[in-house]
Amino acid sequence: MTGPAEFCLALECCRYGFKGSDSCCDILDAEVDWHQFLRLVRYHRIEGLAWNRLASLPIPIANTMKDAASAVAAQNLQAIAESWQLLNRFEAAKVRLLFLKGLTLGALAYGNPALKQSVDIDVLIRPENLAEAARLLRECGYRLVLPLSGKRLHPWHRTRKESVWVKDGSSLHLDLHTRTADNWQLIPSITAASASREVEISDGVALPTLTDDDLFAYLAVHGASSAWFRLKWIADFAGLVHEKASTEIERLYRRSQELRAGRAAGQALLLADALFGTLKGNPDLRQELGHDPATRLLFRAALRQVSGDAVGPTDRRFGTIAIHWTQFLLLPGLHYKWSELVGQPSRALARSRF
Protein backbone atom coordinates (compact mmCIF):
# COMPACT_ATOMS: atom_id res chain seq x y z
CA MET A 1 0.00 0.00 0.00
CA THR A 2 1.20 3.53 -0.78
CA GLY A 3 0.72 6.38 1.64
CA PRO A 4 2.55 8.48 4.22
CA ALA A 5 5.92 7.03 5.20
CA GLU A 6 4.88 6.84 8.85
CA PHE A 7 1.79 4.73 8.13
CA CYS A 8 3.69 2.45 5.72
CA LEU A 9 6.33 1.93 8.40
CA ALA A 10 3.60 1.07 10.92
CA LEU A 11 2.28 -1.55 8.48
CA GLU A 12 5.76 -3.01 8.08
CA CYS A 13 6.17 -3.28 11.86
CA CYS A 14 2.90 -5.20 12.11
CA ARG A 15 3.79 -7.49 9.19
CA TYR A 16 7.22 -8.20 10.66
CA GLY A 17 5.58 -9.43 13.85
CA PHE A 18 3.39 -12.04 12.14
CA LYS A 19 4.21 -15.57 13.18
CA GLY A 20 6.31 -17.07 10.38
CA SER A 21 6.70 -13.73 8.59
CA ASP A 22 9.50 -13.42 6.05
CA SER A 23 9.18 -9.63 5.92
CA CYS A 24 12.51 -8.15 4.86
CA CYS A 25 11.85 -4.93 2.94
CA ASP A 26 13.87 -1.78 3.53
CA ILE A 27 11.64 0.25 5.84
CA LEU A 28 13.75 3.37 6.03
CA ASP A 29 14.01 4.32 2.36
CA ALA A 30 11.62 7.20 2.91
CA GLU A 31 12.02 10.17 5.25
CA VAL A 32 10.12 9.43 8.46
CA ASP A 33 8.72 12.01 10.86
CA TRP A 34 9.49 10.06 14.01
CA HIS A 35 7.24 12.08 16.30
CA GLN A 36 4.34 11.55 13.93
CA PHE A 37 5.22 7.86 13.76
CA LEU A 38 5.21 7.61 17.55
CA ARG A 39 1.81 9.32 17.61
CA LEU A 40 0.55 6.77 15.09
CA VAL A 41 1.76 3.69 16.96
CA ARG A 42 0.33 5.00 20.22
CA TYR A 43 -3.04 5.66 18.62
CA HIS A 44 -3.14 2.27 16.89
CA ARG A 45 -1.77 0.55 20.03
CA ILE A 46 1.07 -1.25 18.27
CA GLU A 47 3.99 -0.07 20.45
CA GLY A 48 5.21 -3.60 21.11
CA LEU A 49 5.11 -4.54 17.44
CA ALA A 50 6.89 -1.33 16.44
CA TRP A 51 9.73 -1.79 18.90
CA ASN A 52 10.07 -5.46 17.94
CA ARG A 53 10.86 -4.33 14.38
CA LEU A 54 12.92 -1.23 15.12
CA ALA A 55 14.90 -2.15 18.24
CA SER A 56 18.13 -2.79 16.34
CA LEU A 57 17.97 0.46 14.35
CA PRO A 58 19.41 3.85 15.37
CA ILE A 59 16.16 5.81 15.41
CA PRO A 60 15.81 9.20 17.14
CA ILE A 61 12.98 8.16 19.46
CA ALA A 62 14.49 4.81 20.47
CA ASN A 63 14.32 5.40 24.22
CA THR A 64 10.70 6.56 24.10
CA MET A 65 9.67 3.55 22.04
CA LYS A 66 11.62 1.18 24.24
CA ASP A 67 9.86 2.53 27.34
CA ALA A 68 6.46 2.16 25.64
CA ALA A 69 7.20 -1.42 24.56
CA SER A 70 8.45 -2.27 28.06
CA ALA A 71 5.20 -0.92 29.51
CA VAL A 72 3.22 -3.13 27.11
CA ALA A 73 5.26 -6.18 28.10
CA ALA A 74 4.83 -5.42 31.81
CA GLN A 75 1.09 -4.97 31.37
CA ASN A 76 0.91 -8.29 29.54
CA LEU A 77 2.79 -10.06 32.34
CA GLN A 78 0.24 -8.68 34.77
CA ALA A 79 -2.58 -9.81 32.48
CA ILE A 80 -1.10 -13.33 32.24
CA ALA A 81 -1.06 -13.73 36.01
CA GLU A 82 -4.55 -12.26 36.33
CA SER A 83 -6.00 -14.40 33.53
CA TRP A 84 -4.59 -17.55 35.09
CA GLN A 85 -6.12 -16.64 38.46
CA LEU A 86 -9.48 -15.90 36.87
CA LEU A 87 -9.48 -19.19 34.98
CA ASN A 88 -8.77 -21.15 38.15
CA ARG A 89 -11.47 -19.34 40.12
CA PHE A 90 -14.09 -19.80 37.41
CA GLU A 91 -13.19 -23.46 36.86
CA ALA A 92 -13.44 -24.12 40.61
CA ALA A 93 -16.94 -22.61 40.52
CA LYS A 94 -17.76 -24.70 37.41
CA VAL A 95 -18.39 -21.59 35.29
CA ARG A 96 -17.19 -22.05 31.72
CA LEU A 97 -14.88 -19.23 30.63
CA LEU A 98 -13.33 -18.50 27.23
CA PHE A 99 -10.75 -15.79 26.55
CA LEU A 100 -11.31 -13.59 23.49
CA LYS A 101 -8.57 -11.67 21.65
CA GLY A 102 -5.85 -10.45 24.01
CA LEU A 103 -3.09 -12.81 25.08
CA THR A 104 -4.37 -15.88 23.27
CA LEU A 105 -4.69 -14.01 19.99
CA GLY A 106 -1.23 -12.52 20.47
CA ALA A 107 0.22 -16.02 20.79
CA LEU A 108 -1.67 -17.26 17.71
CA ALA A 109 -1.01 -14.29 15.43
CA TYR A 110 2.53 -13.33 16.47
CA GLY A 111 3.87 -16.34 18.32
CA ASN A 112 4.50 -14.05 21.28
CA PRO A 113 1.67 -12.62 23.41
CA ALA A 114 4.00 -9.95 24.82
CA LEU A 115 4.08 -8.10 21.46
CA LYS A 116 0.38 -7.33 21.35
CA GLN A 117 -1.00 -4.54 23.50
CA SER A 118 -4.18 -5.60 25.26
CA VAL A 119 -6.00 -2.82 27.04
CA ASP A 120 -8.66 -5.22 28.34
CA ILE A 121 -9.03 -8.83 29.35
CA ASP A 122 -12.00 -10.08 27.31
CA VAL A 123 -13.83 -13.15 28.60
CA LEU A 124 -16.95 -14.93 27.39
CA ILE A 125 -19.45 -16.73 29.63
CA ARG A 126 -22.90 -18.26 29.22
CA PRO A 127 -25.70 -15.71 29.85
CA GLU A 128 -27.16 -17.89 32.58
CA ASN A 129 -23.88 -17.62 34.50
CA LEU A 130 -23.91 -13.81 34.65
CA ALA A 131 -24.83 -13.49 38.34
CA GLU A 132 -22.27 -16.09 39.40
CA ALA A 133 -19.58 -14.52 37.21
CA ALA A 134 -20.27 -11.11 38.74
CA ARG A 135 -19.87 -12.62 42.22
CA LEU A 136 -16.57 -14.24 41.27
CA LEU A 137 -15.22 -11.03 39.77
CA ARG A 138 -16.06 -9.07 42.90
CA GLU A 139 -14.30 -11.73 44.99
CA CYS A 140 -11.24 -11.26 42.76
CA GLY A 141 -11.22 -7.52 43.47
CA TYR A 142 -13.10 -6.23 40.42
CA ARG A 143 -15.55 -3.35 40.47
CA LEU A 144 -18.34 -2.84 37.92
CA VAL A 145 -18.00 0.46 36.03
CA LEU A 146 -20.37 -0.01 33.08
CA PRO A 147 -23.22 -0.11 33.89
CA LEU A 148 -22.75 1.94 37.02
CA SER A 149 -24.94 -0.20 39.25
CA GLY A 150 -25.02 -3.95 39.80
CA LYS A 151 -28.82 -3.73 39.80
CA ARG A 152 -28.60 -2.73 36.15
CA LEU A 153 -26.26 -5.55 35.15
CA HIS A 154 -28.86 -7.98 33.76
CA PRO A 155 -30.88 -5.32 31.85
CA TRP A 156 -27.58 -4.00 30.45
CA HIS A 157 -26.60 -7.40 29.09
CA ARG A 158 -29.96 -7.73 27.36
CA THR A 159 -28.97 -4.91 24.99
CA ARG A 160 -25.16 -5.04 25.06
CA LYS A 161 -22.70 -7.85 24.55
CA GLU A 162 -20.46 -6.97 27.51
CA SER A 163 -20.11 -5.13 30.79
CA VAL A 164 -16.90 -3.41 31.92
CA TRP A 165 -15.04 -4.14 35.16
CA VAL A 166 -11.93 -2.59 36.72
CA LYS A 167 -9.63 -4.20 39.24
CA ASP A 168 -9.01 -1.79 42.10
CA GLY A 169 -5.38 -0.89 42.62
CA SER A 170 -4.32 -1.87 39.08
CA SER A 171 -4.66 -0.74 35.47
CA LEU A 172 -6.51 -3.91 34.47
CA HIS A 173 -9.88 -3.69 32.77
CA LEU A 174 -12.07 -6.68 32.06
CA ASP A 175 -14.87 -6.95 29.51
CA LEU A 176 -17.36 -9.61 30.57
CA HIS A 177 -19.16 -10.91 27.47
CA THR A 178 -22.36 -12.91 27.46
CA ARG A 179 -22.44 -12.94 23.65
CA THR A 180 -20.03 -12.13 20.85
CA ALA A 181 -21.94 -9.37 19.02
CA ASP A 182 -24.36 -6.65 20.10
CA ASN A 183 -26.81 -7.68 17.38
CA TRP A 184 -28.14 -11.18 18.04
CA GLN A 185 -28.34 -11.90 14.29
CA LEU A 186 -24.57 -11.73 13.87
CA ILE A 187 -22.58 -14.93 14.71
CA PRO A 188 -25.34 -16.15 17.10
CA SER A 189 -23.90 -19.67 17.42
CA ILE A 190 -20.48 -18.50 18.69
CA THR A 191 -20.96 -18.68 22.45
CA ALA A 192 -19.19 -19.84 25.59
CA ALA A 193 -20.53 -23.30 24.78
CA SER A 194 -18.66 -23.36 21.44
CA ALA A 195 -15.74 -25.68 20.81
CA SER A 196 -12.50 -24.37 22.31
CA ARG A 197 -8.76 -25.02 22.31
CA GLU A 198 -5.98 -24.29 24.77
CA VAL A 199 -3.35 -21.71 23.80
CA GLU A 200 -0.11 -21.48 25.75
CA ILE A 201 0.63 -17.87 26.67
CA SER A 202 3.51 -18.53 29.06
CA ASP A 203 5.43 -21.52 30.41
CA GLY A 204 2.85 -23.72 32.10
CA VAL A 205 0.01 -21.27 31.46
CA ALA A 206 -2.60 -22.06 28.80
CA LEU A 207 -5.93 -20.34 28.33
CA PRO A 208 -9.06 -21.59 26.51
CA THR A 209 -10.17 -19.65 23.45
CA LEU A 210 -12.20 -20.13 20.28
CA THR A 211 -11.14 -22.49 17.51
CA ASP A 212 -9.96 -21.05 14.19
CA ASP A 213 -13.37 -21.21 12.48
CA ASP A 214 -15.14 -19.27 15.22
CA LEU A 215 -12.21 -16.95 15.92
CA PHE A 216 -11.96 -15.90 12.26
CA ALA A 217 -15.67 -15.00 12.18
CA TYR A 218 -15.58 -13.33 15.58
CA LEU A 219 -12.58 -11.12 14.76
CA ALA A 220 -14.23 -10.03 11.52
CA VAL A 221 -17.43 -9.00 13.30
CA HIS A 222 -15.52 -7.37 16.15
CA GLY A 223 -13.47 -5.23 13.77
CA ALA A 224 -16.50 -4.35 11.68
CA SER A 225 -18.34 -3.18 14.80
CA SER A 226 -15.90 -0.25 14.98
CA ALA A 227 -15.26 0.09 11.22
CA TRP A 228 -11.67 -1.09 11.85
CA PHE A 229 -10.42 2.33 12.98
CA ARG A 230 -7.40 0.85 14.82
CA LEU A 231 -4.59 -0.83 12.93
CA LYS A 232 -3.98 -3.42 15.64
CA TRP A 233 -7.35 -5.08 14.94
CA ILE A 234 -6.72 -5.76 11.27
CA ALA A 235 -3.08 -6.66 12.01
CA ASP A 236 -4.29 -9.30 14.48
CA PHE A 237 -6.71 -10.65 11.87
CA ALA A 238 -4.05 -10.73 9.14
CA GLY A 239 -1.53 -12.28 11.51
CA LEU A 240 -3.95 -15.05 12.41
CA VAL A 241 -4.27 -16.19 8.78
CA HIS A 242 -0.74 -15.30 7.65
CA GLU A 243 0.62 -18.86 7.69
CA LYS A 244 -2.53 -20.48 6.36
CA ALA A 245 -2.78 -21.93 2.86
CA SER A 246 -4.98 -20.12 0.35
CA THR A 247 -7.45 -23.01 0.38
CA GLU A 248 -7.75 -22.76 4.15
CA ILE A 249 -8.37 -19.01 4.02
CA GLU A 250 -11.19 -19.59 1.55
CA ARG A 251 -12.59 -22.38 3.73
CA LEU A 252 -12.55 -20.06 6.76
CA TYR A 253 -14.42 -17.44 4.77
CA ARG A 254 -17.08 -19.94 3.60
CA ARG A 255 -17.48 -21.17 7.16
CA SER A 256 -17.85 -17.60 8.42
CA GLN A 257 -20.87 -17.23 6.14
CA GLU A 258 -22.46 -20.30 7.71
CA LEU A 259 -21.80 -18.70 11.11
CA ARG A 260 -23.53 -15.48 9.94
CA ALA A 261 -20.52 -13.18 10.01
CA GLY A 262 -22.00 -11.75 6.82
CA ARG A 263 -20.11 -9.08 4.92
CA ALA A 264 -17.88 -8.40 7.93
CA ALA A 265 -15.70 -11.32 6.83
CA GLY A 266 -15.37 -10.03 3.27
CA GLN A 267 -14.63 -6.53 4.55
CA ALA A 268 -11.90 -7.93 6.82
CA LEU A 269 -10.28 -9.95 4.05
CA LEU A 270 -10.27 -7.07 1.56
CA LEU A 271 -8.83 -4.71 4.16
CA ALA A 272 -6.17 -7.22 5.25
CA ASP A 273 -5.33 -7.77 1.59
CA ALA A 274 -4.97 -4.05 0.87
CA LEU A 275 -2.69 -3.55 3.88
CA PHE A 276 -0.84 -6.87 4.13
CA GLY A 277 -1.47 -8.84 0.90
CA THR A 278 -3.56 -11.48 2.66
CA LEU A 279 -5.35 -12.61 -0.53
CA LYS A 280 -2.34 -12.74 -2.85
CA GLY A 281 -2.90 -16.49 -3.20
CA ASN A 282 -6.69 -16.10 -3.55
CA PRO A 283 -7.32 -13.93 -6.63
CA ASP A 284 -10.69 -15.57 -7.29
CA LEU A 285 -11.89 -14.89 -3.74
CA ARG A 286 -10.60 -11.32 -3.95
CA GLN A 287 -12.54 -10.83 -7.17
CA GLU A 288 -15.68 -12.42 -5.71
CA LEU A 289 -15.62 -10.16 -2.64
CA GLY A 290 -14.86 -7.07 -4.70
CA HIS A 291 -17.83 -7.71 -6.98
CA ASP A 292 -20.31 -7.25 -4.14
CA PRO A 293 -21.12 -3.51 -3.99
CA ALA A 294 -21.94 -3.54 -0.26
CA THR A 295 -18.75 -5.40 0.69
CA ARG A 296 -16.74 -3.04 -1.48
CA LEU A 297 -18.37 -0.06 0.23
CA LEU A 298 -17.61 -1.51 3.66
CA PHE A 299 -13.98 -2.09 2.69
CA ARG A 300 -13.51 1.47 1.47
CA ALA A 301 -15.07 2.89 4.63
CA ALA A 302 -12.77 0.78 6.80
CA LEU A 303 -9.69 1.73 4.77
CA ARG A 304 -10.48 5.42 5.25
CA GLN A 305 -10.88 4.89 8.99
CA VAL A 306 -7.66 2.96 9.59
CA SER A 307 -5.43 5.04 7.31
CA GLY A 308 -6.79 8.44 8.31
CA ASP A 309 -5.59 10.89 10.93
CA ALA A 310 -4.70 9.37 14.29
CA VAL A 311 -7.80 10.73 15.98
CA GLY A 312 -10.46 8.47 17.49
CA PRO A 313 -14.01 8.63 16.07
CA THR A 314 -15.44 9.92 19.34
CA ASP A 315 -12.91 12.78 19.31
CA ARG A 316 -14.09 14.06 15.91
CA ARG A 317 -17.34 15.84 15.17
CA PHE A 318 -19.69 13.28 13.63
CA GLY A 319 -16.76 10.86 13.76
CA THR A 320 -18.88 7.84 14.69
CA ILE A 321 -21.22 8.16 11.71
CA ALA A 322 -19.11 5.78 9.61
CA ILE A 323 -19.31 3.19 12.37
CA HIS A 324 -23.08 3.48 12.63
CA TRP A 325 -24.01 3.39 8.94
CA THR A 326 -21.67 0.52 8.10
CA GLN A 327 -23.47 -1.67 10.65
CA PHE A 328 -26.56 -1.70 8.43
CA LEU A 329 -24.65 -3.43 5.60
CA LEU A 330 -23.15 -6.34 7.52
CA LEU A 331 -26.06 -8.69 6.77
CA PRO A 332 -28.53 -8.52 3.87
CA GLY A 333 -32.27 -8.32 4.37
CA LEU A 334 -34.77 -5.91 5.90
CA HIS A 335 -35.12 -7.93 9.10
CA TYR A 336 -31.48 -7.35 10.01
CA LYS A 337 -31.58 -3.68 9.04
CA TRP A 338 -34.67 -3.16 11.17
CA SER A 339 -32.94 -4.82 14.12
CA GLU A 340 -30.05 -2.36 13.72
CA LEU A 341 -32.43 0.58 13.36
CA VAL A 342 -34.01 -0.39 16.68
CA GLY A 343 -30.87 -1.73 18.36
CA GLN A 344 -28.48 1.17 17.82
CA PRO A 345 -30.64 3.77 19.63
CA SER A 346 -31.50 1.31 22.41
CA ARG A 347 -27.83 0.55 23.03
CA ALA A 348 -27.02 4.27 23.06
CA LEU A 349 -29.90 4.89 25.46
CA ALA A 350 -28.73 2.08 27.72
CA ARG A 351 -25.25 3.61 27.88
CA SER A 352 -26.65 7.06 28.74
CA ARG A 353 -29.00 5.68 31.43
CA PHE A 354 -26.65 3.27 33.12
Query: What confidence score (pLDDT) does residue 72 get?
Result: 87
Name the pLDDT band for 353 (thresholds 50, 70, 90).
very low
Query: What confidence score (pLDDT) does residue 114 get?
Result: 82
Residue 174 has pLDDT above 70, yes or no: yes
Name the pLDDT band for 60 (thresholds 50, 70, 90).
confident
pLDDT tens per residue, range 70-90 = 988 888 889 999 999 999 999
pLDDT tens per residue, range 46-55 = 999 999 999 8
pLDDT tens per residue, range 2-48 = 778 999 999 999 999 997 776 655 666 568 999 999 999 999 999 99
Query: What confidence score (pLDDT) does residue 126 get?
Result: 98
φ, ψ (nearest 5 deg) of residue 184: -60, -20
pLDDT tens per residue, range 196-222 = 999 999 999 999 999 999 999 999 999
Supply the pTM of this predicted model. Answer: 0.94
Residue 91 has pLDDT above 60, yes or no: yes
Query: What confidence score (pLDDT) does residue 142 get?
Result: 96
Domains, the chain, in order of start with CATH, read 5-353 (3.30.460.40)
Residue 351 has pLDDT above 80, yes or no: no
Query: What confidence score (pLDDT) does residue 354 get?
Result: 43
pLDDT tens per residue, range 114-123 = 888 776 899 9
